[in-house]
Amino acid sequence: MPNKVFYTDHFKWLSVGIFCFSLFVLYAALHASEDQTLIAYLVAGFFLAGSAYLLYQAFFVFFEYDDDALYFGSKRKKLEWTRLIEKGYSSWRDMNYVTFEGSGTIWISSYMYGVEDFNNFLEQKTRMLDEEWQRE
């Protein structure tokens, strides 16, 4: 049975709340005075874009993993560990990531449930893969 990494319901509710707040910011921007319209629209756009990204992350980013592969997204795209190219950390995004051959980068937030177990598993798995590749 694969292990799961996902955002909790609390995080999902928080993301919905932040999105609703960004709609309020948009409403306020629509009623800004003429000399403040540009900055109000920029602030509202920032809030909308950020909260939409947060909604996407909360509801559509999740994966499962086992000894054979990582299964990503609702279509459970199978990414075999032997095709793992890189694992790392981005200080710019403050997230870990894994990159597989033939696929894009999967960003892994520290706010996801199950991420600590996944990081431990990934450390052991990459050590085993390195040993196998050195023997070949």
pTM assigned to the model = 0.79
pLDDT of residue 127: 87
pLDDT band at 64 (very low <50, low <70, confident <90, very high): very high
| The token pair that represents 124 in the structure block | 């052991």
Please report, for the chain, the start and end positions of each structural domain, with discontinuous segments joined by +. 3-60, 63-135
pLDDT digits over 6-42, tens only?
Answer: 999 999 999 999 999 999 999 999 999 999 999 999 9
| Alpha-carbon span 111 to 42, nearest angstrom | 28
DSSP symbol at 6? B
Q: Look at residue 135 and tell me whether its pLDDT is greater than 80.
A: no
| Alpha-carbon span 18 to 59, nearest angstrom | 14
